[in-house]
Chains A and B, each alone.
Chain A
Amino acid sequence: MPGVHDRGGWPDAGLITKAEHELSFWEKRTDALLVLLSGAGRRVIRVDELRRAIESLPPEAYETMGYYERWISAIETLLIEKNVLTKSEIDHKAEQIVEQRKIETGE
């Protein structure tokens, strides 16, 4: 049984949706974070590590998540694994960001 990422010849695949979308800002930033973290001078994350983290997602998550949703989840997993960041640190920062936006938008 191949892994969920190993899609070549996967049975019951349907029509290919050809609609394209311009990458949104958060998607571009996710891409940029990987490029920077994996680039010369930093080498915090290697591209094959990113793949391993993506391929380790639960099969159902892999199949339903968007492309860059898989990426940012894998980047988070790896940064925590490597003790660069902690989950609670990220949770806390995310809450702060949401609160800050509420203040800025006057909610």
Chain B
Amino acid sequence: MHDHDAPDSHLPIEADAELTYYEQRVEAIQALLIEKGLLSADDVRRAVEDMDARSPAVGARVIARAWVDPHFKQHLLADAKAAIATLGIDVDTWSTLVAVENTPTIHNVVVCTLCSCYPRSLLGVPPDWYKSLNYRARVVKEPRTVLEEFGLELAPDIEVRVYDSTADMRYLVIPQRPAGSEGLSEEALAALVTRDSMIGVTQAQEPSP
């Protein structure tokens, strides 16, 4: 199932295609847990819906507010969860969150070398590359090279800081507000904040002229 050489273009994807080994295990485990009354099919459906509902748009809203409101930004840097709660976002179940700010002299980038810890409530599920063995291995060792591969060239005098997440502490990068974004509404600013810029592998987008 991890055949990287041959794209399976000749195999139509069918709803009734045979289940893989792992699909069988998920189906079986879920069915048994439901039979035993540990959870219901509705619980699973709702959990999947919750997962689909979380997206980087939530994080982008937080960043846009930080760009327009210096007091909010200070609060965000001092106590991210408390600051985010003031936007009406439910942070009750979150682990510790730390916001780190990119400046003209400091660039921050986030990884989880041990696994895939990520501020999912703010950014949705992590992209495949964030979870990949190569990103986890390399970004702590040669961050500038990795950032270049993401198209981000940093001047040599910019300090790069790499943050390694854990299950108990996750990080959110506050990208620099792009030049030419003066006068934009908070909503228009949020549209410039990409997922990757909040992980720190790219900058926020520049506004279209």
Chain A residues whose C-beta falls within 8 Å of the C-beta of B116 in the assembled complex: 67
Knowing A32-B51, A76-B25, A101-B19, say if A6 contacts B114 (CB, 8 Å).
Answer: yes
A63 within 8 A of B: yes
B157 within 8 A of A: no
B57 within 8 A of A: no
**Contact string, A48-86, partner B, CB cutoff 8 A, digits 1/0?**
100100100000000110111100110110010000110
Chain A residues whose C-beta falls within 8 Å of the C-beta of B150 in the assembled complex: 18
Chain A residues whose C-beta falls within 8 Å of the C-beta of B30 in the assembled complex: 29, 33
Chain B residues whose C-beta falls within 8 Å of the C-beta of A42 in the assembled complex: 38-39
Contact B33 A97 (CB under 8 A): no
Residue total for A at the interface (Cβ-Cβ under 8 A): 58
Q: Report the minimum CB–CB distance from B47 to chain A (whole Å).
A: 4
Contact B115 A33 (CB under 8 A): no
Contact A98 B24 (CB under 8 A): yes
**Contact string, B138-150, partner A, CB cutoff 8 A, digits 1/0?**
1011000010011
Q: Report the minimum CB–CB distance from A34 to chain B (whole Å).
A: 9
Knowing A76-B25, A94-B24, say if A8 contacts B51 (CB, 8 Å).
Answer: no
Give the segment of B69-77, B81-89, B121-129 that binds chain A. Answer: B121-129
Contact A66 B2 (CB under 8 A): yes
- Chain B stretch 64-115: residues in CB contact (< 8 A) with chain A: 93, 111, 113-115
Chain B residues whose C-beta falls within 8 Å of the C-beta of A90 in the assembled complex: 25, 28-29, 32
Q: In the complex, how many residue pairs between chain A and chain B have their CB atoms under 8 Å apart?
A: 154
Of A6, A21, A66, A93, which is within 8 A of B28 by CB? A93
Residue of B nearest to A104 (CB): B16
Interface of A is mostly: helix
Contact B27 A8 (CB under 8 A): no
Contact B19 A98 (CB under 8 A): yes
Chain A residues whose C-beta falls within 8 Å of the C-beta of B6 in the assembled complex: none
Q: Report the minimum CB–CB distance from B111 to chain A (whole Å).
A: 8
Contact A28 B48 (CB under 8 A): yes
Chain A residues whose C-beta falls within 8 Å of the C-beta of B36 in the assembled complex: 84-85
Contact A26 B22 (CB under 8 A): yes
Distance in angstroms between the alpha carbons of A89 and B18 in the assembled complex: 21
By a beta-carbon cutoff of 8 Å, the part of chain B in contact with chain A is 1-2, 16, 18-20, 22-33, 36, 38-39, 43-44, 47-48, 50-52, 93, 111, 113-116, 125, 127-129, 131-138, 140-141, 146, 149-150, 164, 167
Besides A11-B137, A15-B134, A67-B128, 6 new A-B residue pairs in contact (Cβ under 8 A), listed by A number: A8-B111, A16-B132, A16-B135, A29-B30, A51-B114, A76-B25
Report, nearest first, the 4 A-B pairs whose CB atoms are least far apart.
A8-B113, A13-B137, A32-B47, A10-B137
